[in-house]
Amino acid sequence: MQRLICVIGNKGGTGKTTITHVLCHGLGLLGWRAIAILTDSQRQPLSKQGRRYVPVDGREPEVLDKIVAKLETTPDWLAVIDGGGNRPALDRQFYEMSGMALLPFRDSPEDMRTVMDDLDAFPNAYALPSQWPTNPWQQLAAERSVDDMMLTYRTRILDPVYTVSASKQLLQIQMPSALPNALNNMSRSLAWRVLQKMGLPRHAEPPHTAPNR
């Protein structure tokens, strides 16, 4: 399904859940209707209230099938699967059903080694630097490590998602009513970049904010 995105990767704790919600929030801000699909049995479903997207508990396989069927008939919807670490068979399944696959990795040699294996296993996936340092010196060092370790994958690495401590607010079961600008900007920017890579417009037709909808 073209409008299905999966956020996967074998390593735990790389930022899959955070990126799923940041991306869905950003898609909402850009006028798309987005669904964040929970697939991790270790996590609790989040409340829909106050969000610009719909979190769905997708831990039963039928739910995923229903969402894919819904996407087929609703061109202004996108869905994002939040994978879980250490589940290679499920990662393969999500990759094969999605139009776009994102592989978050942090600035660590272990994350980079794992994401390179994942890039080999999933040839159409993109690596997404996650929790990236905002301090200029640390950033330079992180970029150097990527250049040293991942040079041959350069064209498959997207611009980073930076560390923004407010991102955890999106993961609260009940989201706060207002979110800081830094988080909104980061979300919009990630959503815009992913839409561009997928060849989708910034606003679906009709846009999310259209009156009487």
> Which parts of this chain interact with Mg ion (CB under 5 A)?
16-17
Contact residue for ligand ATP among 13, 75, 109, 201 (CB under 6 A): 13
The whole-angstrom separation of Cα 84 and Cα 17 is 8
**Can you list the pairs that 179-188 forms with residues at least 24 positions away whose Cβ atoms lie under 8 Å?**
179/25, 183/22, 183/25, 184/25, 184/29, 186/22, 186/26, 186/161, 186/162, 187/22, 187/23, 187/25, 187/26, 187/29, 188/26, 188/29, 188/30
- Cβ 132 to Mg ion shortest distance, Å: 18
**15: contact with ligand ATP by CB under 6 A:** yes
- Cβ 82 to ligand ATP shortest distance, Å: 7
- Cβ 159 to ligand ATP shortest distance, Å: 13
* Cβ-proximal residues to 79 (8 Å cutoff; 6+ apart), any chain: 3, 4, 5, 34, 35, 36, 37, 67, 68, 71
**114: contact with ligand ATP by CB under 6 A:** no
Contact residue for ligand ATP among 1, 54, 85, 149 (CB under 6 A): 85
- Cβ 185 to Mg ion shortest distance, Å: 23
Of the two residues 20 and 187, which places its CB atom closer to Mg ion in the complex? 20
Of the two residues 19 and 204, which places its CB atom closer to ligand ATP in the complex? 19
Q: Any idea which residue has 């909808």 for tokens?
A: 213
List the single partner that 163 binds among ligand ATP, Mg ion, none, CB under 5 to 8 Å by kind. Answer: ligand ATP
**16: contact with ligand ATP by CB under 6 A:** yes
Question: Which strands, in side-by-side order, build the sheet including 33-38?
Answer: 54-57, 33-38, 77-82, 4-7, 100-105, 126-129
10 Å CB burial of residue 59 (0-12, 13-18, 19+) is middle
Q: Which residue has the closest beta carbon to Mg ion? A: 17
The residue count for binding ligand ATP (CB under 6 A) is 18
Interface stretch with ligand ATP, choices 28-36, 116-124, 139-147, 157-165 (CB under 6 A): 157-165
Interface with ligand ATP (CB under 6 A): 12-18, 40, 84-85, 130-131, 161, 163-165, 167-168
